[in-house]
Structure 1
Amino acid sequence: MIDLRRLHVLRAVAHYGTVTAAARALHFTPSAASQQIRQLARDLGVDLLEPQGRGVRLTPAAESLLAHADAIQARWELAELDLRADHGAPAGPLRASGFPLAVSVLLAPMASRLRERHPRLSVRIQEAEVPAGFDLLFEGEIDLAIVEATIYNPPLSDDRFDQQPLLDDPFDLVVPEDHPLAGRDGVDLAEAAHEEWIAPVPESPCRPHVLSACGEAGFTPDVVHHAMDWNVMAHLVAHRLGVALIPRLAHLTPHLPITRVRCTGNPHRKLLTCTRGGGHARPAVAAALAELRDLAPTAVA
């Protein structure tokens, strides 16, 4: 008989990449986590970890076991749904996370609507950047996340997560209000090729989108300033320190002497909703997803 607690430790090692990181996430010591996996290996009569340099890696047997483990987790989500069903009425806690813009523009109004329409539902929101959102889902700390599609996300084929498109968030070129490109109905980014640029910091998930959009227009931007916050970037533009690509979802400080100009070619980023495999069927999560789908079209209008 497989001990599901030990199986979860193995799943955590696969998710976080090392025994130490998995132990930290599960509030174990590394030695205790290793002991759980060794005992699971003895129970099954197979090796689950093998040395790789100074660390370890999963064996083929462990990879095969994990495919079943992820399916078991999804079935467990559905089993909990059946056990706790209350005639399909959304009730109880709903825990959601998102990066700052997603919280401000999507999750906050979603929570307000759910409170009015489903008074037995208690919504809890946690701000978290994209990688942390997947970790929180995996750990069972949240039920729903809004994430940005990046090359670092788990693949859509990963059965641990159900990732669904929510909206495309276009990037606008933001320039000083007296800039030669201001007031245009649309602009080809190539026309800004010789400008000084303000871009997201290197670790931002939006930075690759900005650089890719410029690359598709045929140039590498001369980035002279970096910022984490879109409003910080807008203030730098207002002081004529450069131009920037800023997503339309971002609500910028009003009355700044800047202008948004739509870009031809429609550079954009994709936002997704993400739940654990099987988790989207819970009435509370289903109600939240319905509200988000209703809010999405007007969020970037």
Structure 2
Amino acid sequence: MIDVRRLQLLQALDHHRTVAGTAEALNVTPSAVSQQLASLAKEAGVPLVERQGRRFLLTGAGRVLLERAHVIFAEMERANADLHAYSAGDRGVVRVGAFSTGISDLVAPALARLRGSHPGWNFEVVQAEPESSTEMLRSGRIDVALTMSTSHMPAAGDPEFHTEPVMVELFDAILPYHHPLASRTDLHLAEDLAEEDWIMSAPGTAWYSCVTAATSQAGFQPRVAHIVDDFSAVFALVRAGLGIAVVPRLAWTGLNPPHVVVRGVRDTARRHVVAVTRAGSSAEPLLTAVREAASKVPVPSVGPFAVAG
């Protein structure tokens, strides 16, 4: 009989390729990984991995076993969901991972609503940025990831995960209160903002990637004057007249920054916010509550082109 927990370890090894990386992801020691792999090979009766330097690759038998493992994991998730539903709606703790603005504007309002409609459910919120949410799901540290469309998302059709859309989030321009463009209601990304000093996050982050994809399509690269990751710092720099920023809508709706103006932008950046679970699991009823919170996200009240994209 094959131990399902060892199948999960084999899955992690296939992803990380090294014993050290697998041990770190699963929060165990490298020796424990090696011992469990040896036990799994004994249970299977055939070699499952082969070593190439410091890397470990699955054998043909290991690949066949892991293909079956995806089905097993999904069925286990479904079985657990059925058991939880049977036990009078008390599902214990559901761990929800989300990026910071997703927590403040989507998850928090959703959980406030669920406290009344689903009092038997308990939720634990963990900040999980897009760069780490997939691995946190895979290792079981979270059960639902509220994340966004980036290169760190599971590939389409990945049998390990199930993805549901939540919202398409547009990006808005944040300007100093006395900026010459502050009185305008119809801003264009390239025509109006290309020559400005920009405030952005560092290359490689989700915010930077979304904005530069849009500016590249518009035919320019922003002149980045300041690099910060915290949106409250962004608004402080804008308020001081040190540049402009194009930020995701959830960034300003949660903080409601004073003494700056928010303007919608044509041809703006956008990102898809999604809920991801392990295959066989469900994001309900959280998903419905999060979508309702998303429908209430305000838009810049600056005229007919406020949310044009």
Do both share a fold (TM > 0.5)? yes
Extract unaligned runs of 5+ from structure 1.
none
CA distance in 2, matches of 1:127, 1:56: 31
Q: For residue 255 of structure 1, report the CA deviation from its aligned partner.
A: 5.8
Q: For residue 115 of structure 1, report the CA deviation from its aligned partner.
A: 0.8
1:201 partner amino acid: A
1:296 partner amino acid: A
CA distance in 2, matches of 1:213, 1:140: 34
Q: For residue 120 of structure 1, report the CA deviation from its aligned partner.
A: 1.7
Q: For residue 103 of structure 1, report the CA deviation from its aligned partner.
A: 0.8
1:276 to 253, 275, 278: 278
Partner of residue 264, structure 2: 262
Q: For residue 27 of structure 1, report the CA deviation from its aligned partner.
A: 3.4
Q: For residue 75 of structure 1, report the CA deviation from its aligned partner.
A: 0.4
Tell me if the contact between 2:130 and 2:152 (Cα under 8 Å) persists in the aligned partners: no
Q: Residues 169-206 of structure 1: CA distance to partner in whole angstroms, max 9, x if unpaired?
A: 11112222222222322221112212111111224221
1:175 counterpart = 2:178: no
Equivalent residue of 2:123, what SS? strand
Q: Give the 5 Å matches for 1:221-232.
A: 221-232=222-233
Equivalent residue of 1:131, what SS? helix
The number of residues matched between the two structures is 297
Q: Residues 132-187 of structure 1: CA distance to partner in whole angstroms, max 9, x if unpaired?
A: 32223222232212011101222121121111111111111222222222232222
In structure 2, the CA distance between the partners of 1:224 and 1:40, relative to structure 1 (3 Å rule), is same
CA RMSD in angstroms comes to: 2.1
2:234 partner amino acid: M
Partner of residue 295, structure 1: 293
Extract unaligned runs of 5+ from structure 2.
300-309
CA distance in 1, matches of 2:224, 2:57: 39
CA distance in 2, matches of 1:12, 1:254: 42
Q: Residues 215-262 of structure 1: CA distance to partner in whole angstroms, max 9, x if unpaired?
A: 111011111210111221121111121111111111365563322221
Partner of residue 234, structure 1: 235
Partner of residue 107, structure 1: 107
Q: For residue 131 of structure 1, report the CA deviation from its aligned partner.
A: 3.2
1:286 to 284, 287, 290: 284
Tell me if the contact between 2:89 and 2:121 (Cα under 8 Å) persists in the aligned partners: no
Tell me if the contact between 1:162 and 1:275 (Cα under 8 Å) persists in the aligned partners: yes
Tell me if the contact between 2:85 and 2:91 (Cα under 8 Å) persists in the aligned partners: no
Partner of residue 165, structure 1: 165
Q: Residues 112-136 of structure 1: CA distance to partner in whole angstroms, max 9, x if unpaired?
A: 1111122222222111212332223
Q: For residue 90 of structure 1, report the CA deviation from its aligned partner.
A: 5.6
1:22 partner amino acid: T
2:108 partner amino acid: A
Q: Residues 81-138 of structure 1: CA distance to partner in whole angstroms, max 9, x if unpaired?
A: 2333327736432221111101111111111111112222222211121233222322
CA distance in 2, matches of 1:121, 1:255: 34
Equivalent residue of 1:181, what SS? helix
- The normalised TM-score by structure 2 is 0.88
Partner of residue 126, structure 2: 126
CA distance in 2, matches of 1:27, 1:172: 40
Answer with 257-266 or 49-58: which moved more: 49-58
Partner of residue 201, structure 2: 200
CA distance in 1, matches of 2:17, 2:228: 30
Equivalent residue of 1:159, what SS? coil
In structure 2, the CA distance between the partners of 1:157 and 1:100, relative to structure 1 (3 Å rule), is same
CA distance in 2, matches of 1:152, 1:27: 21
In structure 2, the CA distance between the partners of 1:95 and 1:205, relative to structure 1 (3 Å rule), is same
Partner of residue 246, structure 1: 247
